[in-house]
Structure 1
Amino acid sequence: MKRKFFRQQIILSALAIAGTITILSSFKKDENKPVADDLKGTINISGAFALYPITVKWAQEFKKIHPNVVFNISAGGAGKGVTDALSGLVDIGLASRDINPAEVKKGAYTIYVTKDAVVPTFNTGNPNAAALESKGVKRDQFLNVFVTGTIKNWNQLGGKVSVPIHIYTRSDAAGAAETWAKYFNKKQEDLLGVGVYGDPGLAQAVKKDVTGIGYNNLAYLYDLKTRKQVAGVHALPIDVNGNGKIDADENFYDTIDHLTDAIASGKYPSPPARNLGFLFKGKPQKPELVEFVKFVLTEGQKYVDENGYIVLSKQKIAEELKKVN
């Protein structure tokens, strides 16, 4: 199936690092065509780097229908998004992790809008790159790198060249970190490594260190135009069945389309695959918020696949729409 190509991911990464993007108008109005829509207001959004790119796209498309709605969108990690939403600083917190009971007691109300995954990463200049991509890494081996610290050298993961493993993790309260830790039944604070802020920062840290290892959301590892992995930092294949090699049905990292298909079909484990959601403080009531959520769960789903995310099932969409009706 042919897929349309949209903006280069690096632009979004730059925007995320810069802070907030305000979407006032991203299209030319036809002055001769009356606007048959009086929906207006401002929607403030902050949170997960994982959801940031597709949320910007949704906002741009929503404004073509409702030009009087203004969006302020910033990426700062899932923890910031959840905190901002529950404190009333923003209307929507972008959540890329499970919501804990304490947050629910504070009024957290989540509507899931898409799905993606966190993937382990390594530097493609690693002298053991060919062996790593052929053999993959087992879950317990990742555990002993990121949690116990008993694996310290790449030759312990099947490499032939002895080089130390330099671990990088997230310094901010991140859904990606929480999800990666959940793969080992742990919490973000249990992960070892040098802390780096943000998804783009973590990808860059591994890209600059030949012996580096980390983890990222899909949107920061693949070029949405070529659909292939970006240069310098690639996904480190997971040996799901633990047989010491990457079998044909585990070899799905070459393009973002193959990987999202694997996530959707369950071939890629969950976690680190996960649902992504909009978090509100209580059920959304403002008309502009309700209409935006409905748009995301209906018309907005057609932008999901081409931007490197997974479309929700019809059943899941129906369940989530009930949360705003």
Structure 2
Amino acid sequence: MKLTKIKTVLGLVAIMTIGLSFTTDKITVKGSDTMVILAQKWAEVYMSKHPETAIQVTGGGSGVGISALINGSTDIANSSRPIKPSEVEKIKARYGTLGVEIPCAKDGISIYLNKANGVSELTLKQIADIYTGKITNWNQVGGVDGKIKLYGRESSSGTYVYFKDYVIKKDYSPACQSLPGTAAIVNAVKKDKFGIGYGGAAYDSGVKDCKVKKDADSPAYLPTAETIKNKTYPITRYLYMYLGSRPTGATKKYIDWILSAEGQKICTQVGYFPLK
């Protein structure tokens, strides 16, 4: 049975299907752009072992995925942030349940810098001050004289919400340029020697990961398997799958496989981190 080529748009949206005439089960997965690389690989490996199942994976952002779950157009919503109480209420109205939350992997939010940037570490407070516009020049954090260029995600992104709620804890600076995906942020920082961005650790190709310190007196850490496992890297988070109700049939089998040792091993193969 032939697996069609994976199609990507700006590296963010992937759709995978296999010969539908031979399949009996279809599963749709939509949401987090951060999770697309991982979700692609899970689906690809699972379908190779279970040709009776067709899995379609698309990105668009955590908010887009959860909205699709609420309106019934996806089976699984991938999210890089916890679900909001307002979204739970909407799920309750549609499904008569509070929904199902399934942590499926861990991730570290990397702070991307251009490779020519002399700055190699920042505290959480400095990162917050940069993204709220309090710090505007690299010479304020030990770098060269140059105006800091801010790159971030659009508001439908779970990473945008998580970074706002848990790192900067205020509104983003109006100077922050919103881009339609993590790959776009990496590409912008790669080309801009004064740029800074953020996103999943799996996307850091071509840029420099900045070491992050909890505070001025703490050691600085890079997002690695070890520092994320033991939570010494200060910006560590869970990645989630959300469903309207308890999974059954093919969807349950797929989720059980994702949470198995085989499924979790794939996390490390593509730059993410297993739950254990």
Q: Which TM class, normalised by the smaller chain length?
A: 0.7 to 0.9
Q: After superposition, what is the alpha-carbon deviation per residue over 1:5-37, rounded to whole angstroms, capped at 9, x for unaligned? A: xxxxxx989456473412317xxxxxxxxxxxx
How much does 1:65 deviate? 2.7
Cα distance in 2 between the residues matched to 1:297 and 1:39: 23
Which residue does 1:234 correspond to in 2?
Answer: 208
Which residues of 2 match residues 1-325 of structure 1 at below 5 A?
A: 14-15=8-9, 17=11, 19-24=13-18, 40-107=24-91, 108-126=99-117, 129=118, 132-133=119-120, 136-147=121-132, 149-159=133-143, 161-184=144-167, 186=169, 190-192=171-173, 193-221=176-204, 230-231=205-206, 233-243=207-217, 247=219, 250-252=220-222, 259-269=224-234, 272-285=235-248, 287-298=249-260, 299-313=262-276
Q: After superposition, what is the alpha-carbon deviation per residue over 1:91-138, rounded to whole angstroms, capped at 9, x for unaligned? A: 111111011111112223211111112111111123xx2xx11xx111
Q: Tell me, what secondary structure is at the counterpart of 2:109?
A: strand
Q: Tell me, what secondary structure is at the counterpart of 2:106?
A: strand
How much does 1:294 deviate? 0.5
Q: After superposition, what is the alpha-carbon deviation per residue over 1:17-75, rounded to whole angstroms, capped at 9, x for unaligned? A: 473412317xxxxxxxxxxxx98311111111221111111112211332011111111
How much does 1:283 deviate? 2.0
Cα distance in 1 between the residues matched to 2:275 and 2:12: 30
Bigger strand share: 2
Q: Tell me, what secondary structure is at the counterpart of 1:85?
A: helix
Percent same amino acid at aligned positions? 28
Q: Do the aligned partners of residues 49 and 19 (structure 1) sit closer, same or farther apart at CA in structure 2, a change above 3 Å counting?
A: closer
How much does 1:309 deviate? 1.6
Q: Do the aligned partners of residues 22 and 12 (structure 1) sit closer, same or farther apart at CA in structure 2, a change above 3 Å counting?
A: closer
Q: Tell me, what secondary structure is at the counterpart of 2:125?
A: helix
Q: Tell me, what secondary structure is at the counterpart of 1:67?
A: coil
- Contact persistence 1:39–1:288 (CA under 8 A): no
2:104 partner amino acid:
V
Q: Do the aligned partners of residues 307 and 241 (structure 1) sit closer, same or farther apart at CA in structure 2, a change above 3 Å counting?
A: same
Q: Tell me, what secondary structure is at the counterpart of 1:184?
A: helix
Q: Do the aligned partners of residues 175 and 217 (structure 1) sit closer, same or farther apart at CA in structure 2, a change above 3 Å counting?
A: same
Stretches of structure 1 that go unaligned for 5 or more consecutive residues are 1-10, 26-37, 222-229, 254-258, 314-325
Cα distance in 2 between the residues matched to 1:52 and 1:121: 19
Q: Tell me, what secondary structure is at the counterpart of 1:137?
A: strand
Stretches of structure 2 that go unaligned for 5 or more consecutive residues are 92-98
Cα distance in 2 between the residues matched to 1:100 and 1:123: 34
Q: After superposition, what is the alpha-carbon deviation per residue over 1:207-227, rounded to whole angstroms, capped at 9, x for unaligned? A: 121111110111111xxxxxx
Q: Do the aligned partners of residues 280 and 170 (structure 1) sit closer, same or farther apart at CA in structure 2, a change above 3 Å counting?
A: same
Q: After superposition, what is the alpha-carbon deviation per residue over 1:150-202, rounded to whole angstroms, capped at 9, x for unaligned? A: 2110000112x211101111124111112222233626xx1220111111111
Q: Do the aligned partners of residues 99 and 185 (structure 1) sit closer, same or farther apart at CA in structure 2, a change above 3 Å counting?
A: farther
